[in-house]
Amino acid sequence: MKGGGVIRAAGGGAGGAGLLRTRLRLPVVLLSCSLFFLAGFFGSLLFTQDPEEADMPVPRERLLEAAWPEMPYGESGEAAPSLIPYQILSWQPRALYFPQFATSEQCENIVKTAKERLKPSTLALRKGETAESTKGIRTSSGTFLSANEDPTETLAEIEKKIARATMLPRNHGEPFNVLRYNIGQRYASHYDAFDPAQYGPQKNQRVASFLLYLTDVEEGGETMFPYE
C-alpha cells in the first residue's frame, strides 16, 4: 500500500505538471508573436520615417557659451561671498540689527571727519508748515557727508558693507547724514520717506534707512518705532 501510494503520487504529480505546461503553451506563443510584431512595427517607423514628413521637431544647434559674455559685477557685487550676521527685531515695521557692524576705529574716524561740519539740523516742511510751527520737532545737529569727502576712506568701506547687507546698490543711497544728539535733544516721530501728497512731487524716494550708532552711552539715545 505504501509503495503503491508513492507511485500514484509521483505519477499524479508528473501528470499534473504535464497538464500545466500544455495549458500555458498557447498563451506564451501568442504573447511572443505579439511582442515581435510590435518590435518590428516600431523599428520600421524608426528607420523609415522622415522627421519633416512626420512633423517631428528637428533639434537645433546649441549656442556656445562664448556667445554670451560674462556680466560684470554690480555696484554691490563681490568676487567672493561674505557673511554679515544679523538679528530680526521686528517684521512690522521691519527692523534688523547688525551687531559690530563697524569697528571702534571706523566710528572714531567718522566722528572726527564730521565734527567740524556740524550745524543745527533742518526739517523738510510739509504744505502749510513753517520753521516756527515745527520748532522743537528736531533739535539735533548734523551734516551730510559723502564717501568721496572722507579722506580716511572709512565711509567708502561702510557704504560697501551697507550695500551687501541691504542688497541695494551703493549708487542708490544718499550721502551719510551724521547726527549728534546732546542730552535732552531729540527727533520726534516721523517718516523717512516723503509722501508726495504732503511734500509735493519727488525725484526719488527712500525705501530703507540704515542707522549706525557711532558712540555708546549708559542710558538713553535709543531709536523708537511707535505703533501707528
DSSP 116-147: TT-EEPP-PPPTT--TTTTTTSB--EEEEE-G
Q: Classify residue 40: in a domain, yes or no.
A: yes
Q: Are residues 91 and 177 in the same domain?
A: yes
Residues 56 and 91 in one domain: no
Helix locations, the chain, DSSP H: 2-48, 104-115, 154-166, 196-199
Average pLDDT over residues 8-34: 43
Domain that includes residue 102, residue range: 87-199
**Shared domain check, 29 and 101:** no
- Residue 160 counted as domain residue: yes
Residues 47 and 93 in one domain: no
Give me the mean pLDDT over the 78-83 stretch.
Answer: 66
Asked, for residue 13, whether it belongs to a domain, the answer is yes
pLDDT at 220: 87
What is the torsional sign of CA 189, 191, 192, 197?
A: negative
Task: Answer yes or no: do 170 and 126 share one domain.
Answer: yes
- Shared domain check, 99 and 29: no
Is residue 78 a contact partner of residue 65, using CB atoms and an 8 Å limit?
no
Q: What is the pLDDT of residues 162-201, one digit of tens each?
A: 999 998 999 999 999 999 999 999 999 999 999 999 999 9
For residues 117 and 159, membership in a common domain is answered with: yes
- How many domains are there within the chain? 2
* Weakest-pLDDT range from 18-32, 164-178, 207-221: 18-32
Q: What is the mean pLDDT of residues 102-123?
A: 95
**Residue 124 resides in a domain:** yes
Mean pLDDT of the chain: 77
For residues 103 and 191, state if they share a domain: yes
In this structure, is residue 225 part of a structural domain? no
